[in-house]
Structure 1
Amino acid sequence: MNFAPRRTILDLGSSFYDPVAATDFPQTILRFRNDRAAESIGLDGLSDAEWVAHFGRFAPLEGSLETPLALRYHGHQFRVYNPDLGDGRGFLFAQLADDRGRLMDLGTKGSGTTPWSRAGDGRLTLKGAMREVLATEMLEALGVDTSRTLSVVETGEELDRGDEPSPTRSAVLVRLSHSHVRYGSFQRLAALSDSAGLARLTTYVLANYFGTVDAPDPYAALIGHAVTNAARQAAAMMAAGFVHGVLNTDNINITGESFDYGPYRFAQTWDPDFTAAYFDHRGLYSFGRQPEALQWNVFQLAGALRVMAPLESLKPALETYGERYTTALTAALLKRLGVVPRDPASDRALAETLVTTLEATRAGLDKFWFDWRGGKRRAPGYDGPEFDAFVKGVGDYAPAAPRDHPYWSDAAACGLPIGEIEAIWERIAAADDWSAFIAKVAAIRRMGVAMAG
């Protein structure tokens, strides 16, 4: 793959972003480079020195953006509208095409203050960067459409944070994403009554991300894509046992790609009430409410587009969310189980039985998926009456692929419980020992290969 720079974002005009500069950090110590992701965009040939120059010092990539851009947007945060948002500790550094011909963004986290930083310092903790690497690697391995962490560079500053031991180490992270245009980008334009901006952004998104140039009703087309993507994203997160933690409209990508991982967790059981963020006192973004949260967010996008289109033209797509989610969840669960779909009615019945069984038994999710890969039991412990309906239903299904990768002979599944993340960080914090982190990334990728096969 040859590097193919783009700067398509400039088509939106200067009212959509603010030119900014990265902080001149005291140090730039390369801690993680994702050559697998870099290969998909033609940047895997960079030397470490060149890598740090671009992703620690932010020297422009030739042919792409000459100056980083902090994007402007609004959003609902825990369902309270906030007009004072925007890229406050990150920016769009570059655009390029990937090996599938898609327009991709390289965005930062922790690159310094911008006009939208408010009272924040624009920085990212090294622990937060390490956690995001693990989240994106795990989600990618589990087949969730996610941003990919391209780079982490430690920056040599000491940061004060009220919710963790301080001072703590700092870093700047670069993520590779299929668009950073958010629902909140549309909400901002609607709040400003910027009809021309809404039309321009809608055209930009449809043309560059969905290949739709001449849609008869562009706003209905956009909502149709958003509903499909939100339903798919919700289903994928549920099948992965993933709790994002902060599903605000400024954290929802128009392409349906999950990104921006702060207080996430991987649920250890199918517990609908399990939350990831300690500050989510109402459980608004709990594990079981994530499909509802993403549907609510699509409604807010539709509300923004009502500046340009009547609700009657948007309602048909909005009303399909429930059915699309159920269909997507069925497909995601059968894929996680590793069985060949049979017919829609049987598949949906198995998926419903599976969810009911997991919720009722509180079976450990990592172990369950590992033990039942291919629909065939590989360990004891599933003989009680609470498992009877699932065991009977899955018996009619064939494995999607042979369970012949060495991973399936391991003593235990590869998971990502919060305790393990904390233990990995403790070794880094106490002795700058990255061995457990490196080993975990390798183990996750090995699992991903096994699951893909």
Structure 2
Amino acid sequence: MTPPILEIADFLAEPVEAANFPKTILRFRNDRAASEIGLSTLSDDDWLRHFGRFEPLPGNLPQPLALRYHGHQFRVYNPDIGDGRGFLYAQLQDQAGRWLDLGTKGSGQTPYSRFGDGRLTLKGGVREILATEMLEALGVNTSRTFSLIETGEELHRGDEPSPTRSAVMVRMSHGHIRIGSFQRLAYLRLEDELRRLTDYALRAYFNASSGDPVELVRRVVEGTSRLAASYMAAGFVHGVLNSDNINVTSESFDYGPWRFAPTFDPNFTAAYFDHAGLYAFGRQAEAIQWDVVQLAGALRTLADVDALIAELDRFPELYRRALVERFLWRLGVQPKGIDEDLRLVAAIEQGLIASQLPIDHFFFDWAGGSLRGDDAPYRDEAFADFRTRVSGYRAARTLDHPYWQGEPCSMHIEEVEAIWAPIAERDDWSALYAKVERIRGMGEALAS
């Protein structure tokens, strides 16, 4: 079947060519993801041809497409952006008939590169593998790192010891249509194209029969409120929640200065340049909701404004309910009722903020709603309300997976650096591969 993106490529994208890299050294291939789209049987040589040299997949896009978009970056509107070091390489269907995108990072310069070199550091690719694997295991709707190939170039960066090694990465996700894609068309007053993009998004991603802009905002409000709640339960800080980094499928993607918060600190930031804490851990729901407001603003000429506002007004309550669902899922207990569940979540947050205990340890220790292991950290008054409330909850998962007999799996900055060090020093990738397997084991345990 013809990739659906070609329906709108005339106004949404620019055909481009991948960089010609000196080398292609396969470092990571996600066969678990590849099996969903029929590519897990590719030989390593074929993998390198398609995801390092970007030879077109048979019957797919004849040429990569760099997507055009605008966006608010730290709430300042920027019309001078787009895919500057990536492109859409292919669209394939999974077993359920859902279209999935293969998009790149570090694949070379495009018309939107501005002053950038279009490249990705190898360390940046390793960090993205770790972020996406961890988030997927923690139940966050995320893109998945599909491939990482080292490319043999030396790069210079201000935030890494330079020169540093280069790579090209492929991510797999449901879609790459961003809020900024709609903002660009509204900014240029391309109303016909804006209608076409709205219709495309609803049909391609939500199987909707109509191109109603209000319906699109409804879907995005529902998806992004859940995404924001998932970040909180995972203890994750994206770092750069600009409107060009929020897509209408509500998948988390494009990981730059991400961090997992070591403790439940609402003021914890991931980006060293986020001086005002705009995208701090505890402000992520506010940031994402603000971005969704920009989507509604871009669509206001196509829809009834009051109807758009009514959908936006649903975000806080949907977020509140999603927060309960995600916290109870990670804790592994069955819900009792929204009011009582909210009080339990508030008690968890209160205990974690006051105690500054590691988030991962807390959820590991209390898996299934009963304390397993050392009681000492939870004797503090900060956890008194939680201990009282959780005693009335029933377990929602079994604990017979081997993961529960070990130590909690986490992904803090010190661990990232410890995984990168042997790669940088002696090209030893064993720590990375072992960590990916451990993360996937945690994901299996949480899903049980």
Shared fold (TM-score greater than 0.5)? yes
Instruction: Spell out the pairing of 1:441-452 with structure 2 (5 A cutoff).
Output: 441-452=436-447
Instruction: Spell out the pairing of 1:83-102 with structure 2 (5 A cutoff).
Output: 83-102=79-98
Contact preservation (8 Å) 1:339, 1:397: yes
Q: Which of 348, 359, 365 is matched with 2:353 structurally? A: 359
Asked whether 1:72 is paired with 2:68, we answer yes
Q: Which of 17, 22, 26 is matched with 2:22 structurally? A: 26
Give the equivalent residue in structure 1 for 2:389.
Answer: 393
Contact preservation (8 Å) 2:260, 2:411: yes
Instruction: Spell out the pairing of 1:80-229 with structure 2 (5 A cutoff).
Output: 80-214=76-210, 218-229=212-223
* Mean Cα deviation higher: 394-403 or 352-361: 352-361
Shift of 1:347: 1.4
What secondary structure, in the 3-state scheme, does the structure 2 residue paired with 1:298 have? helix
In structure 2, stretches of 5+ residues that fail to align are: none
Q: Spell out, residue by residue over 1:405-426, the C-alpha distance to the aligned partner (whole angstroms, 9 max, x if none).
A: 111110x211001001011111
Shift of 1:341: 1.1
Give the equivalent residue in structure 2 for 1:246.
Answer: 240
Structure-2 separation of matches of 1:351 and 1:99: 37
Give the equivalent residue in structure 1 for 2:8.
Answer: 12
Structure-1 separation of matches of 2:29 and 2:398: 32
Structure-1 separation of matches of 2:388 and 2:97: 44
What secondary structure, in the 3-state scheme, does the structure 2 residue paired with 1:84 have? strand
Q: Which of 413, 424, 427 is matched with 2:419 structurally? A: 424
Structure-1 separation of matches of 2:222 and 2:350: 25
Give the equivalent residue in structure 1 for 2:328.
Answer: 334
Give the equivalent residue in structure 1 for 2:301.
Answer: 307
Structure-2 separation of matches of 1:313 and 1:38: 40
Contact preservation (8 Å) 1:6, 1:94: no
Contact preservation (8 Å) 1:6, 1:97: no
Shift of 1:448: 0.8
Cα distance change on mapping 1:6 and 1:142 into 2, 3 Å: farther
Q: Spell out, residue by residue over 1:134-187, the C-alpha distance to the aligned partner (whole angstroms, 9 max, x if none).
A: 000000000100000000000000000011100000000000011000000000
Amino acid at match of 1:206: L
Contact preservation (8 Å) 2:110, 2:118: yes
Amino acid at match of 1:243: V
Amino acid at match of 1:244: H
Instruction: Spell out the pairing of 1:257-268 with structure 2 (5 A cutoff).
Output: 257-268=251-262
Give the equivalent residue in structure 1 for 2:314.
Answer: 320
Give the equivalent residue in structure 1 for 2:267.
Answer: 273
Amino acid at match of 1:435: S
Give the equivalent residue in structure 2 for 1:292.
Answer: 286
Name the TM-score, length of structure 1 as normaliser. Answer: 0.97
Q: Which of 400, 405, 410 is matched with 1:415 structurally? A: 410
- In the alignment of these two chains, the number of paired residues is 446
* Mean Cα deviation higher: 102-111 or 303-312: 303-312
Shift of 1:6: 4.3
Structure-2 separation of matches of 1:317 and 1:48: 47
Structure-2 separation of matches of 1:371 and 1:313: 45
Name the TM-score, length of structure 2 as normaliser. Answer: 0.98
Give the equivalent residue in structure 1 for 2:40.
Answer: 44
Deviation beyond 4 Å, 4+ runs, structure 1: none
Amino acid at match of 1:273: N
Shift of 1:214: 2.6
Structure-1 separation of matches of 2:301 and 2:108: 34
Contact preservation (8 Å) 2:350, 2:383: no
Give identity over the alignment, percent. 59
Contact preservation (8 Å) 2:350, 2:382: no
Structure-2 separation of matches of 1:154 and 1:271: 36
Amino acid at match of 1:340: Q
Contact preservation (8 Å) 1:339, 1:375: yes
Cα distance change on mapping 1:36 and 1:13 into 2, 3 Å: closer
Contact preservation (8 Å) 2:347, 2:383: no
Asked whether 1:63 is paired with 2:64, we answer no
Cα distance change on mapping 1:383 and 1:41 into 2, 3 Å: same
Contact preservation (8 Å) 1:136, 1:149: yes
In structure 1, stretches of 5+ residues that fail to align are: none
Amino acid at match of 2:150: E
Contact preservation (8 Å) 1:270, 1:359: yes
What secondary structure, in the 3-state scheme, does the structure 2 residue paired with 1:70 have? strand
Structure-1 separation of matches of 2:22 and 2:398: 51
Amino acid at match of 1:223: V
Amino acid at match of 1:440: K
Q: CA RMSD in A?
A: 0.9
Shift of 1:350: 1.1
